[in-house]
Each structure stands twice: as C-alpha cells, then as structure tokens.
Amino acid sequence: MSNPSTTSAPLVVIVGGGPAGLLAAQHLAEAGLRVQVFEQKATVGRKFLVAGHGGFNLTNGEDIAPFAQHYGAAAPFFARALAHFSPAALRQWAADLGIGTFVGTSGRVFPDAQHKPADLLRAWLRHLQDLGVELRTRHRWLGFVGERGLRFCNEATGAAFVVEPDATLLALGGASWPQTGSNGHWTTFLQEIGIPCQPFAPSNCGAEVTWSSFFKEKVGRAPLKNIALSCGGHTVRGEIMLTDYGLEGTPVYALTPQLRAALAAGAPAWLHLNLKPNLGPTDTQRRLARRRPGESLASFLGSAFSLKAPVPTLLRELNAPADLGAALTALPIPVMGLRPLDEAISSAGGIPFSEVDANLMLRRRPDTFVAGEMLDWEAPTGGYLLQGCFSTGAWAAKAISQNL
Ligand SMILES: Cc1cc2nc3c(=O)[nH]c(=O)nc-3n(C[C@H](O)[C@H](O)[C@H](O)COP(=O)(O)OP(=O)(O)OC[C@H]3O[C@@H](n4cnc5c(N)ncnc54)[C@H](O)[C@@H]3O)c2cc1C
C-alpha cells in the first residue's frame, strides 16, 4: 500500500483524536491525502473507550428519517450527513475492521459480545497506520496563526511550533468527562477569530432532586422499571434509578433539553412520572376501585398494581396527590438542577451551525472544517451521539477531499 506521507499529496491536519477526527483521517487517507492527527492526550479515542464501559451503542438500527429527528434543530443537516455515512455504513465499517455488530431489542447497535471496544479501537488504529496516517499524540493545539497556521505544543518536550496545512479539520469534542481530553478549552481560540461559541451545558445527565434524609437512608439506590417520564410535552419510557442526589437513567437523560429549558425559567422544573404506562385509564380506575377499607397503601399497590418498595415511600416523599390515579400516572417530581458537566455523557453548546457552511467549513476561516461534538448539537443516548460524530467526520472529509 502506498504511504501518502512519503508523497507530495496535500497535507490535512486533524486536531482531536476522537471518533469524528479518526474517521475523517481514515476517509482522507483513503482519498490519497497526507493526514496528520494531533491529539493532546498520550493516546487517542479515550472518550470512545469510556463509552464502551457501559452498554457500548455504536449506532441505532432506526431508519435515517426518524434517526435524523433526534438531532433537534440540526435535524435537516443530519439527514444529509446520515445519508452520506449511514448507520448501515457504520456497521459495515466495523465489520471491515473485523468487528461484527448486532441490533439489540431497543434498536441500539452493539459490537458482538466477544469484542471489547478496545479491540475495535486497536483494529482501527492498525488500519490508520497501514494507510499512512501520522498520529502525533501529546500535542496540544494552542490556536490559529496567520491565514493557514496552527500552533501546537509538544507536551513531551515543551517545544511550540507552527504547522501550515492545506486544510484543517478541528474535531476537539465537547466538554463533558474532561479527563478524557474533551475539556472545551478550545472555545477561546475560536473566539479569538470572532466565532462566538454557545456556552457548554450538560446533556444526557442525571437530574437533582432534594430528597429528605429519611428517604435517602430508606431507599438509597433503587430502580423503577417500565415507567414513563414526561417533561415539556415529551414522554420517554424506560427504567430510571433513584439515587441519593436525584434520578439517573435513559428517560432522564433523554429529557435533559426539556429540563434545561424549564430550569432556565426557574427551579424547580417538573418531571411527571407514570408508574404504570401500559395501563389504560379504564383499567387503572377498575383496579383503584378494588381497594378494601382499611387496606394499607403498600399492600394495595402491591396486590392491585404489582408496585412494591420503594413506590409507597416515594409517593409519601413527594406528597403525592390524594387522587391515587393521578399519583400513579403523573406523579410530579421537582427537579432542582442537572448534574455537573464533568459527569454528563455529552454536552450541548459549542460552535453554532450558523458559523459553518453546508460542508462544515468555518465561514470565518476558509479551509478549516469542524466535526463531532464540538458543533452545537445534542442527541439522546442510544447510538445517536457516536453516529453523529462519525457522520459529521465523514461529511467534512468528503468536502475536504473534494476541495483539495
Ligand atoms: C460515559 C460515556 C458513555 C458514552 N456512551 C456512548 C454510547 O454508548 N453511544 C454513543 O453514541 N455515544 C456515547 N458517548 C458519547 C461519545 O463518546 C462522544 O459523543 C464522542 O466520543 C465524541 O466524539 P468526538 O470525536 O466529537 O470528540 P471526543 O471523543 O471528545 O474527542 C476529542 C479529542 O480532542 C482532543 N482535544 C481536545 N482539545 C485538544 C487540543 N487543544 N489539542 C489537541 N487535542 C485536543 C481530546 O483530547 C479528545 O481526544 C458516551 C460518552 C461518555 C462520557
């Protein structure tokens, strides 16, 4: 295989060795360009590996049209980017690296059980090496210089230097889990060239509820399964976890945009919990009518609704409405805040889409493109985050290779 680094091919510098940057590096090297990836940490793909600690959702089995709707205001752009590098293309990419995938019952796409995320990253890095992609780890980007230049610091030697590539792709990530390298410090460098970044905010994170000491002691951590949670006209089903600081779980994460908007108007923001989303109103009323005089709440909820601990304690803690039907199907939960950015799965904020053109090139700096979580979009967990990063990386790479 020819190694583009030894040819006089145009040079593309990619800053940030996460999934968006590395996929762009692969596509650009496959297009015959010389590619250098600069990453401030000692290794690339740290957040990609962290994503693998829980259920590692590479993407989702949903069709592209409904898939794109998960990106909120950025949906029209994502519909195009997903058509270019689709969930099916992502699965094929993993298969080409020797990693099979399967679609779980929830639609989430996981690597086959025998493959760890580190296996995928290792196979990927081998492929990038074969393609001649030059990885420069422990190199921190320090900002722009002149019309084309990028200033870096070699963290091993402390030496600063400038590179003047033919095109640049910034793929520096968002601002959650800063220990993985995605610390959001880059906003300063974009602001220096007149790009106003949206402040970062936690996305896909837990919600804070001020429980009494009694509740924390009695309940501790406890799951509530097969529930539905609503906020701001959106309802999400799934399982939540009661914790000593509030709530965690997929439905809570998915509602962070609505909670953030409601909290901006003042705390508390209200979540409404439906403990029996599969029961219709008639069925609920029929079961409520079965309660015998003198029967305790705990015993009645257990026998009529199969609702056991900690539900009775939760209803008491939240001063549930006297109307038990309302309490079971729309229990108001006061949320005082979101968990900190450092622990969030992803972040909202970053470079507004108004600052890039249709190819993801910065309007204020020709030949400089952006991809991944550093753009101001958010999406729920379930494979939408990684797919969004891969698709934007592939989209920017296509534009760069066409330009060069
Ligand atoms: C706990 C957790 C679980 C997750 N689970 C999933 C999941 O199951 N499915 C899913 O789809 N998504 C998941 N995600 C989200 C997913 O990992 C991210 O959306 C994705 O990694 C973002 O990719 P990126 O390429 O945009 O940026 P990142 O992966 O954040 O990479 C950016 C890189 O840029 C580097 N960088 C930053 N500044 C500089 C600088 N000045 N100089 C040089 N380098 C710099 C950073 O060190 C970093 O390596 C999870 C995230 C977390 C934290």
pLDDT of 209 higher than 80: yes
pLDDT of 1 higher than 50: no
Residue-wise pLDDT for 312-366, tens only, equals: 999 999 999 899 999 999 999 999 999 999 999 999 999 999 999 999 999 999 9
Distance, CA 311 to ligand 1 centroid (Å)?
37
Task: Determine which residue's CA is closest to atom 35 belonging to ligand 1.
Answer: 16
CA distances (Å), origin 339, targets 202, 203, 204, 222, 377: 7, 9, 9, 18, 19
Distance, CA 338 to ligand 1 centroid (Å)?
20
Q: Which has the higher per-residue pLDDT, 190 or 56?
A: 190
Distance, CA 48 to ligand 1 centroid (Å)?
6
CATH topology of domain 4-202+343-403: FAD/NAD(P)-binding domain (3.50.50)
Distance, CA 67 to ligand 1 centroid (Å)?
20
Residues 181-202: what's their mean pLDDT? 98
Residue-wise pLDDT for 18-58, tens only, equals: 999 999 999 999 999 999 999 999 999 999 999 988 778 99
CA distances (Å), origin 145, targets 152, 166, 187: 10, 14, 16
Residue-wise pLDDT for 375-392, tens only, equals: 999 999 999 999 999 999
* Ligand 1 pocket list (CB less than 6 A): 15-21, 38-41, 46-48, 50-51, 54, 56-57, 140-141, 171-173, 176-177, 181-182, 186, 345-346, 372-373, 381, 383, 385-386, 389
Residues 220-237: what's their mean pLDDT? 97
Distance CA 28, CA 293 (A): 73
pLDDT of 298 higher than 80: yes
Q: Which is the closest atom of ligand 1 to the Cα of 177?
A: 53
Residues 53-75: what's their mean pLDDT? 94
Distance, CA 94 to ligand 1 centroid (Å)?
18
pLDDT at position 4: 52
pLDDT at position 2: 45
Q: Which is the closest atom of ligand 1 to the Cα of 38?
A: 43
Residue 100 banded pLDDT, cuts 50, 70, 90: very high
Distance, CA 173 to ligand 1 centroid (Å)?
5
User: Which residues, 6 or more positions from 10, have their beta carbon under 8 angstroms from its beta carbon?
Assistant: 33, 34, 166, 167, 404
pLDDT at position 326: 96
pLDDT at position 105: 87
pLDDT of 220 higher than 60: yes
CATH 3.50.50.60 segments of the chain: 4-202+343-403
